[in-house]
Structure 1
């Protein structure tokens, strides 16, 4: 299949360290890989988390007690900070990027959805890398995505992407806790294959899903069912995006 456009989602756990600080080298490596694909005439939409963390880096602790309002404030301050990082990095590679913020209702059938299509198609036609994120400053309750995995899936469908790559802090879906020696990485999953048991095995052991794997599994299978091959892979692995496009056996691939 001739790959022309892909969506890459990078999670907060990939681009931050244990102290919740943005890892600039990870952002630089992401942009480097996107530039490699750009030279091959493959356009990338980057769905990037990290705005709230970036905002907290600037503001620090606040006196805002309401969690939703605090998230709005952090994200409002952090979003332009993230875009400054990306703008500078893409500029170093002679590339341009643009920001696309959205709420879930923007993908509803009708004028909002058409506006989104027009925006993405306009940016891609000009060789500009769209950087998408949830509009956390105004997105509350019914207008919120479950997470940026859902946003990435909706964008992939919207632009008729050839691949969706979800970058996490694990190497894919495992048969148990990824840290256990007897756990094995599952290389390929069909969208109707029952693998939820493996996520549950990890949850039972740790008390919670690793990196939101349960959500990622649901989104990956749903996206694959729309004939968009989807990958879950480790975003901190060198050259991970390019290697996936080059059909190397990395992460977990979800197919129809």
Structure 2
């Protein structure tokens, strides 16, 4: 029986370089940490971005003008490519992974939600790491997540996780612009604390990605209010997941 469950969300900017290419060593370090948690009887659920970028790597420039359709096509092509990356890396560490696709409506009470719970519980009981992602091929309008942070939050609640870790390409929530020398990381935030004034909108050229710091903070507060401590941290930092699980002061912790 596993002692803890941790949901880990990794964003597109964590796993890509400045040319919007998937950086495999980043994925390897991510899986390495998940494998170490497994050895400690801590099971992980991975919510991974990257399918759109992976699809763009295969297709190159698309002639599709409609942004939503273009995203669907890129994601449909990129999903198996991302899973192949993960499958091979997990196999290197003697572990198994599985893909779990969902739309927002699947989390509504009913058979779909119950079936997802059964699937997650079955995979986790067998020591298989579920890799969750949005089913982009059919997920539009009302069935579409605002971003993968929202998906990660719903998965954390569904699996009764002990922690949600949102990995991005910054150290956490700052008191000002991350590039300013006097800026500091806010280590702890309570769900009723007004820190929205610190949010800065930065155009980082995230290709077809979604979700900025404002969205992350909002989702983190929602998740933390359900007694699931949530962390926003730099996914490119060495041992970031292990440090958080070990209780070290890394990134921004949002809790009740």
The 5 A counterparts of 1:64-83 are: 64-83=64-83
The 5 A counterparts of 1:104-253 are: 104-199=104-199, 202-203=200-201, 206=202, 212-253=212-253
Deviations 1:43-95 (A, max 9, x none): 00000000010011011112212111111111001000000000000000000
Moved more, 206-215 or 226-235: 206-215
Runs of 4+ in 1 over 6 A off after TM superposition: 207-211
Deviations 1:164-185 (A, max 9, x none): 0000000000111011111111
User: How many residue pairs end up in the alignment?
Assistant: 251
Unaligned runs of 5+ in 1: none
Determine the C-alpha separation between the residues in 1 that align with 2:32 and 2:55: 24
Contact 1:3 1:162 in 2 (8 A): no
> How far did 1:137 drift?
1.2
Deviations 1:140-187 (A, max 9, x none): 111000000000000000010000000000000011101111111100
RMSD between superposed Cα atoms in Å? 1.6
The aligned counterpart of 2:52 is: 52
The aligned counterpart of 2:6 is: 6
- 2:212 counterpart SS class: helix
Determine the C-alpha separation between the residues in 1 that align with 2:244 and 2:215: 21
Unaligned runs of 5+ in 2: none
Determine the C-alpha separation between the residues in 1 that align with 2:71 and 2:255: 35
TM norm structure 2: 0.95
Determine the C-alpha separation between the residues in 1 that align with 2:251 and 2:205: 17
